Amino acid sequence: MAFGVIFDMDGTLVDNMPPAWRAINRALREKYGFEVPPEEVKHYAGTPFSAKVGRWKKVYGVDVDLDYLLPLYEKWEHEEMAKNPKNPKGLISLLEELKTRGVALGVATSTNPMRAKRTLDLFKLSSYFQCVVTMADISHPKPNPEMFLTAAQKMGIDPKHCIVFEDAPSGIQAGKNAGMKVVALRNQYLPKEEADKADVQIDSFEDLSYEKLKRLVGK
């Protein structure tokens, strides 16, 4: 039987955390006079901008206007990424192998459709995926499983035959809540206790192959 693999985008398919936070902090600094320090970034991993705004209100007492922030952030982030758009080690080889073997591939990302498409196109990844699920497709963000369950439905794969790749606590929990196997991509922002909730932990896509994923999902 077939199985499917669903990838988070930011920080997983695309190593964009540094340029993303440079862009966010530039916008916050110019308009509101503050920025998020590096040690705080882990609290925002995998969260939609509405959640980030809520935390800024709580922590800094600042009402951030999303209509102001989002266009600037997306523009500046794209400019930063376009300077050197490199894929994570082993990603393309793994995607090529999975696609050749007929594995259903999807993306589930806590962003808007335009930014998702622009980012995937920039890194030349769009052609690998059967579906891209964004915040526009769901009502409940991660850690709710809706995003991953929607991707599985679009791919035509039973959730129990799906594997999720994630780099953030909310995404790992969403994958588990969806009844899927979860692969955690370790990074400096992911606490060990959160990574330990995944079924498998990796430091690089080079650590995995079609056969290893097939065994993970019990095929």
pLDDT tier at 39, thresholds 50, 70, 90:
confident
Quote the CA–CA distance of 94 and 51 in Å, as a whole number: 32
- Amino acid in position 95: L
Q: List residues bridging with 201 in a β-sheet.
A: 184
% of the chain beyond a pLDDT of 90: 81
Q: What is the pLDDT of residue 188?
A: 87
User: Considering the entire predicted model, what is its pTM?
Assistant: 0.91
49 contacts 70 by C-beta, under 8 angstroms? yes
pLDDT tier at 1, thresholds 50, 70, 90:
low
CA angle 201, 176, 144 (to 5 degrees): 125
Quote the CA–CA distance of 29 and 19 in Å, as a whole number: 15
Q: What is the pLDDT of residue 131?
A: 98
What phi, psi does 138 have (nearest 5°)?
A: -135, 170
Q: What is the pLDDT of residue 51?
A: 87
Reference 187, options 205, 168, 172; nearest CA is 168
Structure tokens at 170: 């909310």
Quote the CA–CA distance of 154 and 216 in Å, as a whole number: 22
Q: What is the pLDDT of residue 29?
A: 93
pLDDT tier at 47, thresholds 50, 70, 90:
confident
Reference 194, options 216, 176, 214; nearest CA is 176
pLDDT tier at 44, thresholds 50, 70, 90:
confident
32 contacts 26 by C-beta, under 8 angstroms? no
DSSP string covering 124-183? T-GGG-SEEE-GGG-SS-TTSTHHHHHHHHHHT--GGGEEEEESSHHHHHHHHHTT-EEE
Kindly report, residue by residue over 105-137, the tens digit of the pLDDT. 999 999 999 999 999 999 999 999 999 999 999
Reference 7, options 140, 124, 171, 170; nearest CA is 171
Quote the CA–CA distance of 25 and 15 in Å, as a whole number: 18
Q: What is the pLDDT of residue 219?
A: 64
